């Protein structure tokens, strides 16, 4: 075992749990991004900006459950909403008023979602949105962006970011080539490449699915005009535009990237924040498209846990709290200030690194400013992982991969930021 960093000096309990876990749960984890080497810490509890592991170590958290915890862990208002729902039972298999209440709130921020349906994860949302786009257009092909991650289902697990990048199996065994042959890819920020692929497949192009800000390899931001041109191009070619706002929804602005960049997609997928930390996904969009979903139309989609009352209650509480406290301006300002401080450290150290991000997302690219997936792949991932381990050892939990975004929340305090910056200064490598 690699003891060099001292990472697991006081992680005996986590190590023990891992030894047991890996015999019964592949890799000891329920999702691959969690597989930290030599073993992950096993979380016992979390509160605000902090996580506490089974050995009693505390970490300032910048993963924030990979996005949902925009108000911090264990938020009292969300907890109250979930526990009030628990008193009434937590699964019915019938519709509830909660679904209407949450849908109305979502629509007030995402007017492009004239109708919507709830599912249980972001993956289910993109899977359903793609099926619906194909059903509506009666075409088969979709375009996704290289490095874009839309969950782990067959149609989109092609050159995907997030854990799929880290683990180096973009085309996973088990996915028939017959399925992925209908998933075409183009680099992000390259409108010519997009136009070319659409033109060549004109008669069979159902949709483009895109994370408007490419969150799963960074984030990497859209070049000026890119999203506007994409909107125009897709409309001109009768090809639906699906904005996957599972990360950006309620994060960049209340109305997500579509509000931030003022673009109206045909379909939108949401997840993460909109369930307040309970499992959720949403797909919505133009009424005439959504009306095709069963039972109104022939495109089938269903789920035992869809619209789960606790998820709906947690989502409503989250959205109401965010609105009442108008969290975005202050949080995004914190993000700006924190990115600036990180950039200053990088500059002081004369490192050839780039601090990227937007709103409450940030990343230190161990390389040049990227425009797309290929650029991000050039980053010095090995150095990033050494940095990650040192930071963890100093009580700061960053994503265990260069290809993930960091999240801040309203629960992060000035003290958290100060401590983190000191640790960054200490742990970033020296310029060569």
Residue numbers of the site for ligand PLP (CB under 6 A)?
66, 121-123, 126, 149-151, 162, 211, 215-216, 244, 246-247, 271, 281
Question: Which residue's Cβ lies closest to ligand PLP?
Answer: 122
Q: Which is nearer to ligand PLP, 282 or 424 (CB)?
A: 282
Cα–Cα–Cα angle for 244, 370, 253, rounded to 5 degrees: 40
Q: Which is nearer to ligand PLP, 85 or 216 (CB)?
A: 216
CA dist 285 and 113 (Å) reads 4
Nearest approach, Cβ of 174 to ligand PLP (angstroms)? 17
Q: Which is nearer to ligand PLP, 72 or 281 (CB)?
A: 281
Nearest approach, Cβ of 25 to ligand PLP (angstroms)? 17
Q: Which is nearer to ligand PLP, 211 or 375 (CB)?
A: 211
- Token representation of residue 163: 């854990």
Nearest approach, Cβ of 151 to ligand PLP (angstroms)? 4
Q: Running DSSP on this structure, what letter comes out for residue 65?
A: G
CA dist 369 and 363 (Å) reads 11
Q: Which is nearer to ligand PLP, 180 or 216 (CB)?
A: 216
Q: Which is nearer to ligand PLP, 303 or 429 (CB)?
A: 303
Query: If you search the block for the tokens 């970011």, which residue do you land on?
Result: 161
Q: What is the DSSP string of 324-382?
A: HTTHHHHHHHHHHHHHHHHHHHHHHTT---EEEEETTEEEEESSSPPSSHHHHHTS-HH
Nearest approach, Cβ of 428 to ligand PLP (angstroms)? 26
Nearest approach, Cβ of 388 to ligand PLP (angstroms)? 18
Nearest approach, Cβ of 214 to ligand PLP (angstroms)? 9
Contact call for residues 239 and 197 (beta carbons, < 8 A) = no
- Token representation of residue 133: 């786009």
- Token representation of residue 293: 């979903």
Over the range 303-326, which residues count as b (16 or more CB within 10 Å of their CB) and which as e? eebbbbbbbbbbbbbbbebbeeee
Q: Which is nearer to ligand PLP, 157 or 423 (CB)?
A: 157
Q: Which is nearer to ligand PLP, 281 or 417 (CB)?
A: 281
CA dist 308 and 95 (Å) reads 9
Nearest approach, Cβ of 208 to ligand PLP (angstroms)? 14
Nearest approach, Cβ of 414 to ligand PLP (angstroms)? 28
Query: Which residues are registered as beta bridge partners of 361?
Result: 358, 407
155: enclosing H helix or E strand: none
Q: Which of 237, 145, 257, 134 is nearest to 195 (CA)?
A: 237
Q: How many CA atoms lie within 13 A of 334 on its CB side?
A: 21
Cα–Cα–Cα angle for 369, 381, 49, rounded to 5 degrees: 85
Nearest approach, Cβ of 153 to ligand PLP (angstroms)? 9
- Token representation of residue 178: 């017959």
Distance of CA 291 to the CA centre of its chain: 27
Q: Which is nearer to ligand PLP, 33 or 342 (CB)?
A: 33
Nearest approach, Cβ of 132 to ligand PLP (angstroms)? 16
Handedness of CA 183, 187, 190, 193 (dihedral sign): negative
Q: Which is nearer to ligand PLP, 72 or 215 (CB)?
A: 215
CA dist 57 and 329 (Å) reads 32
């Amino acid at each position: 075992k690699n003891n060099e960093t001292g990472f697991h000096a006081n992680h005996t309990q986590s190590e023990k749990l891992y030894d047991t876990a890996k015999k019964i749960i592949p890799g000891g984890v329920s999702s691959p991004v969690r597989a930290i080497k030599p073993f992950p810490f096993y979380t016992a509890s979390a509160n605000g900006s902090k996580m506490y592991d089974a050995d009693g170590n505390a970490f300032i958290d910048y993963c924030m459950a990979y996005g949902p915890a925009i108000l911090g862990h264990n938020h009292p208002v969300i907890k109250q909403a979930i526990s009030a729902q628990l008193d009434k039972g937590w699964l019915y298999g019938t519709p509830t008023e909660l679904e209407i209440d949450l849908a109305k709130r979502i629509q007030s921020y995402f007017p492009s979602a004239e109708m919507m349906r709830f599912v249980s994860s972001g993956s289910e949302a993109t899977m359903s949105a793609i099926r619906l786009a194909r059903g509506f257009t009666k075409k088969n092909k979709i375009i996704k962006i290289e490095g874009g991650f839309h969950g782990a289902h067959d149609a989109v697990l092609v050159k995907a970011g997030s854990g799929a990048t880290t683990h180096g199996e973009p085309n996973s065994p088990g996915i028939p080539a017959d399925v992925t042959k209908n998933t075409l890819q183009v680099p992000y920020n390259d409108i010519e490449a997009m136009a070319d692929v659409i033109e060549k497949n004109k008669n069979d192009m159902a949709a483009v699915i895109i994370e408007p800000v490419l969150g799963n390899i960074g984030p990497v931001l859209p070049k000026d005009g890119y999203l506007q041109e994409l909107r125009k191009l897709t409309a001109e070619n009768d090809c639906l535009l699906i904005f996957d706002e599972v990360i950006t929804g309620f994060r960049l602005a209340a109305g997500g990237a579509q509000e931030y960049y003022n673009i109206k997609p045909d379909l939108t997928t949401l997840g993460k924040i909109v369930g307040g930390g309970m499992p959720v996904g949403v797909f919505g969009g133009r009424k005439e498209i959504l009306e095709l979903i069963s039972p109104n139309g022939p495109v089938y989609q269903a789920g035992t846990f869809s619209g789960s009352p606790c998820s709906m209650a947690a989502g409503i509480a989250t959205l109401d709290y965010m609105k009442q406290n108008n969290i975005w301006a202050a949080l995004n300002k914190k993000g700006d200030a924190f990115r600036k401080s990180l950039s200053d450290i990088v500059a002081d150290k004369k490192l050839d690194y780039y601090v990227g991000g937007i709103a409450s997302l940030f990343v230190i690219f161990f390389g040049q400013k990227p425009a797309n997936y290929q650029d991000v792949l050039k980053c010095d991932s090995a150095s990033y992982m050494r940095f990650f381990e040192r930071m963890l050892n100093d009580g700061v939990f960053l994503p265990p991969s260069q290809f993930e975004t960091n999240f801040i929340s309203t629960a992060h305090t000035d003290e958290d930021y100060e401590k983190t910056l000191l640790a960054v200064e200490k742990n970033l490598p020296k310029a060569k």
